[in-house]
Structures are given as C-alpha cells and as structure tokens.
Amino acid sequence: MRVLLVEDDQRIASDISQALEASGYVVETVGDGEDAWFRGDTEDYGAVILDLGLPLMDGLAVLKRWRANGRRMPVLVLTARGSWAERVDGIDTGADDYLPKPFRMEELVARLRSIIRRSAGHASSVMAVGEIALDERQMKVTLRGIPIALSLLEYRLVAHLLRSRGRVVSQQELNENVYGHDEEHDSNALEVLIGRVRKKLGTDVIETRRGFGYTIPEIST
C-alpha cells in the first residue's frame, strides 16, 4: 500500500519512512504543505501521515482542502505534545486519528493500520479469501493455514490485491503500490513478480484480465 508521509523534519521523516517500509508499506515523503496538498489531491494513497507544522501551508489547511475536494483517504495527524487545541481542530477538519509527538514507532504503525482497516470497513487485521489469509500485523501470508515465505515486494503485491479483492486492479495501480512512485523497476518486473507469487500460492489465485489488470476474486473458484 502507498502511504504519503508529510513531515518537514528530515530525521523524523526518515525514521517513520523506515518503520513503515519495514511494515510492508510503500512510502512517499514530502516536506512542505503545498507539495503535500498537490500530491494528496492528484494521486491515490491508501493513507496519509500528516504533520501539522509545515512550511508554505500548514497541515490543517492542507487537510481542509483535501476534504473540501472530496479526498477521502484516511489521515493520521501528528500533533505537538499536549496541544489539545490542535487535536480538536484536526479531528474537526477530518483527521481519522492523531498522535502526539514524540511517539513510539510501534504506536504509529498500529494507529496507521487501524485507520486503514476502519476506512476499508474491516474490524480485524486478518483478511482471508478462499484458502489464503493475510495477517497485516504480523506481515504473514498463509495458504491452507501454512505460512508462505514472501519477499517484501511479493508481500506488497499480495496485500494490495487482497485489500482490493473483488476489484480489477490496473497495472499502474499495482506498480505504484508495490514499487512506489520513485523506485526504478523494469517494465516487465510486475509480471515476473506475479509469476513468482503464483508459483508460491497457486496459479489460479491471481487472475489476469487482459487489457485491464489483475484481480483476486472475492470468492475463490
């Protein structure tokens, strides 16, 4: 899943980015409010982590504009410690949750997972389709109850298709959610990756819809 991280403190940004990538997310980082507003308005992200004190445009203004434009992605706001006014403003503006600084990375990742689940209407961090189950908290995929070893890229692919189950996901959307916007990869890398996942999970798990993309059907056949 693609996550937009808006944080102007480079050290914090790089710590968060590392923690999220280790949890299987594809992270794109921006350091000012105008850039953040533009990206969030024009690109599709599974979630956003938004610092409030930002150069050029403050985080609340960014969030207000996104919501006014109908952008519905879940947003976790980072606030200054003890600033209850910021928290109230953030929630009134359409933040899904907030986290006061400083925080533990474990808590940030857990809160992010939770707003993503809630926005998708899932109560649990385990998703299952047919014989495949994915536990997002443990980053574990099982087939008929047996754990399957996946690389980080394979995991991102399976996780995105499972979250989007029942829907055909375009090649572009998959590329963005597996490799991210900025990472270099060959044009046929995705097909190779899908081939490897099919070898591990079974050839009929991911269906190809020629000209449209790929899907994990809601009810496995």
Smallest distance from the beta carbon of 88 to Ca ion, in angstroms?
A: 19
* Best CA proximity match to 178, nearest among 53, 33, 21: 21
Complex with Ca ion: residue 8 or 176, whichever CB lies closer: 8
Is 86 a residue that touches Ca ion (CB under 5 A)? Answer: no
Smallest distance from the beta carbon of 69 to Ca ion, in angstroms?
A: 23
Residues 4-33 that bind Ca ion (CB under 5 A): 8
Neighbours of 23 (CB within 10 A): 21
Smallest distance from the beta carbon of 28 to Ca ion, in angstroms?
A: 17
Which pairing describes strands 126-129 and 47-51: parallel, antiparallel, or unpaired? unpaired
The one-letter code for the residue type at 136 is E
Complex with Ca ion: residue 8 or 136, whichever CB lies closer: 8
Range in contact with Ca ion (rule: CB under 5 A) among 44-52, 131-139, 150-158, 168-176? 44-52
Complex with Ca ion: residue 86 or 176, whichever CB lies closer: 86
Range in contact with Ca ion (rule: CB under 5 A) among 47-55, 58-66, 181-189, 207-215? 47-55
Phi-psi category of 56—alpha, beta or left, where left has phi over 0 and alpha has psi -120 to 50?
left
Is 53 a residue that touches Ca ion (CB under 5 A)? Answer: yes
Complex with Ca ion: residue 51 or 86, whichever CB lies closer: 51
Complex with Ca ion: residue 77 or 162, whichever CB lies closer: 77
Complex with Ca ion: residue 58 or 97, whichever CB lies closer: 58
Chain residue whose CB lies nearest Ca ion = 53
Smallest distance from the beta carbon of 4 to Ca ion, in angstroms?
A: 15
H or E element: which one contains 20?
A: helix 10-22
List all residues 6 or more positions away from 97 whose beta carbon is below 8 Å from its beta carbon.
76, 77, 111, 114, 115
Is 51 a residue that touches Ca ion (CB under 5 A)? Answer: yes
Task: Confirm if 58 and 76 have CB atoms less than 8 A apart.
Answer: no
Task: Confirm if 143 and 132 have CB atoms less than 8 A apart.
Answer: yes
Smallest distance from the beta carbon of 47 to Ca ion, in angstroms?
A: 19
Smallest distance from the beta carbon of 53 to Ca ion, in angstroms?
A: 4
The one-letter code for the residue type at 52 is L
Task: Confirm if 97 and 111 have CB atoms less than 8 A apart.
Answer: yes
**For residue 11, what is the DSSP state?**
H
Footprint on this chain of Ca ion (rule: CB under 5 A): 8, 51, 53
